[in-house]
Structure formats: C-alpha cells, structure tokens
Amino acid sequence: MKIRAILLSALLSASICGVAVNADAAEVKVGASPTPHAEILKAAIPLMKAKGHELKIIEYADYVQPNMALDAGELDANYFQHQPYLTDFNKEKGTKLVSIAAVHYEPFGIYAGKTKALKDLKKKAIVAVPNDTTNEARALLLLQDNGLLKLKEGAGLNATRRDIIDNPLKLRIEEIEAAQLVRSLPDVDIAPINGNYAILGGLKVKDALAAESADSIAATTYANILTVRVGDENRPELKDLAAILKGDEIKAFINKTYDGAVVPSK
C-alpha cells in the first residue's frame, strides 16, 4: 500500500507540474531484417519516443527466428515478411501470429543483362528468374505484364515456368536462387529481381526495364507487414507503432531513402 501511495503521489505531482503522463507508455521489442526493415524502424524510434514508448530493434539474418521469437514472447512484434509467408509459417509451425499493418512492398524490376532493352530481346534469349515458388510467380507475372509470355489461366501467384502456355520468343527461362540473380546478370539477357536483392546489388528500380505497378496483384499481396501474436492486436503501444509505420513521416522517409526500391503500402 505504501508503494502504491508513493506512485500515486508521483503521478499527481507530475500532473500538477504540467508533465504529460502516458499511462500506456511501454518498451516495444521488434525483430526485423536489417534492410530495409530495421532501417525503417530506426526512423520510427523518435516518433515512438514522442508517444512515451521505447522502441528496441533486434535484427535477424534469417526468416525463421523472428517468428519463433515472437511466438515465444521474446519479441512484441516483428517486421520482415509478407502475408503469404506468414500464412504458410503459421500452418507449418502451429504459431498464431497475425498482421496489424501492411507497411511497404519491394517491387520486382526486370533488369538488363546482355540485352539492354526489352524490345531488343532475340529468340532463345536467356531470362533468369528466382527458383522459389513465391518469387518465381512474381517474376513470371511481370514478364507476362510486359507481353513476353503468357501463363495458364488461374496460375496467378502459384505460377511456375511449367504454366507458360505461350512463349513467342522461345525465351529460355533459367531458375536461379534469388540471392544470386544480380550476379547472374552478365551471363543472361534479362532477370526479374526482387527489390531487396536489387538494393543489396546496387541496382535501382528507376533503372529497371520494367517494374511492378503499385496496384498489381503482387504489390498488394506481398506487402511487408507488422506482425504480432494473436490477442495482442489492440495493445496500445503496438497500435501506436502500426500507425507510425503507416504515417506520413515514415512514408516520406521510405520514398526519400530507397528511390523506388521500397514503396509505402496504400
């Protein structure tokens, strides 16, 4: 009782002295990939501080540990993945994690290798695409959007090269690990590459031969999300973080910093 009285006295004194007291102030631990997620979160630190929260960022180099740490209660949230990945992870691992905000997406771009313009592609040109299902589908859809091939109806975000039904130039589709696509460019004609690998490889989306549009199915489906445990969706400090990451200041930071390689979600 004595401790409680002291705390109440301190709160009253702060109120009398005109100091704002945020009853929902909290420390928030968020797991993130180094680029661009942790960088974006660092820009949110002063904005969270203005609301009385301390934002701590824990960086992870893989895509498994951030979800396992969140599920175990070691983190309050994480920010590194898109919804299809989270959905599959929940099914596979039995975790109960949920998105509370779609923050940004990293557009695929088609980058020049030996061929410097799409109109100059010749028959049997080599096109490198990611070898994982999620990213290969995005690459093929982007090629289809630019008239280079046609996919089987309904293939959508599960498309693989086996779903190509029309290939006028007889393009040779080579499946390569996504992280190696930038290095492959000197040996292929073109390659659709994800935004984060483009950034790491020194490429700029503005220099791409073509890129996913903001309203494309991939852009909306593969938005990177702020994820929390089921049941924590309405925690005030997490709602504050979600609002900040969706806010104008962070959108401006993203647009200024990444020059189109990372785009704020609508």
The residue whose two tokens read 């010749």 is 122
Q: In the numeric block, which tokens belong to residue 255?
A: 């647009």
In a domain, 6, yes or no: no
Most distant CA atoms of the chain, gap in Å: 84
Inside any domain, residue 16: no
Residues 163, 251, single domain; the answer is no
Which of 110, 166, 176, 98 has the alpha carbon at shortest distance from 138?
Answer: 110
Question: Residue 50 is which amino acid?
Answer: A
- Of 192, 212, 232, the residue at which a domain comes to its end is 212
Degrees, nearest 5: CA angle 133-135-140: 90
- Can you read off the two tokens belonging to residue 89? 């992870």
Predicted local distance difference test score (pLDDT) of residue 22: 59
Both 167 and 238 in one domain: the answer is no
Query: What's the mean per-residue pLDDT of the chain?
Result: 90
What pLDDT, on the 0 to 100 scale, is given for residue 216?
Answer: 82
The two tokens of residue 151 are 């996919």
Q: For 34-62, write each residue's pLDDT tens digit.
A: 989 999 999 999 999 999 999 999 999 89
CA atoms of 90 and 70, how far apart (whole Å): 12
Residue 56 falls inside a structural domain: yes
My answer on whether 115 and 190 are in the same domain is yes
Q: Which residues pair with 148 in a beta bridge?
A: none
Categorize the per-residue pLDDT at 175 as very low, low, confident or very high, splitting at 50, 70 and 90: very high
In this structure, the answer to whether residues 246 and 117 fall within a common structural domain is no
The per-residue pLDDT for 134 is 78
The yes-or-no verdict on residue 116 having pLDDT over 90 is: yes
- Judgement on whether residues 82 and 93 belong to the same structural domain of the protein: yes
Distance (Å, whole) CA 194 – CA 106:
7
Whether residues 97 and 157 share a domain: the answer is no
Indicate the SS3 state at residue 231. Answer: coil
What total of structural domains would you count in the chain? 2
pLDDT bin (cut points 50, 70, 90) of residue 90 is very high
Is 3 a member of any domain?
Answer: no
Domain shared by 42 and 97, yes or no: yes
Residue found by looking up tokens 């039904």 in the block: 165
Q: What is the per-residue pLDDT for 10?
A: 43
pLDDT of residue 259: 84
Q: Are residues 122 and 93 in the same domain?
A: no
Domain presence at residue 119: yes
Residue 200 lies in a domain: yes
User: Are residue 228 and residue 207 in the same domain, yes or no?
Assistant: no
Task: Report yes or no on 97 lying in a domain.
Answer: yes
Rounded to an integer, the average pLDDT of 202-214 is 90
Residue 260's pLDDT band (cuts 50, 70, 90): confident
The candidate with the shortest Cα–Cα distance to 191, out of 170, 174, 204, is 174
Instruction: Read off the pTM.
Output: 0.76
Kindly state whether residue 158 falls inside one of the protein's structural domains.
yes
Query: What would the pLDDT profile of 128-173 be if each residue is shown by its tens digit?
Result: 999 987 789 999 999 999 999 999 999 988 899 999 999 999 999 9
| Enclosing domain of residue 165 | 109-212
Q: Enter the tokens of residue 188.
A: 């292929």
77 shares a domain with 130: no
In this prediction, residue 133 carries a pLDDT of 79
Same domain, 122 and 146: yes
- Residues 85, 117: one domain? no
C-alpha span between 39 and 27 (Å, rounded):
18
Report d(CA 184, CA 175) in Å as an integer. 11
Kindly report the CATH number assigned to the domain that includes residue 124. Answer: 3.40.190.10
Q: Give yes or no for residue 1 having a pLDDT over 60.
A: no
* Token output for 263: 């785009």
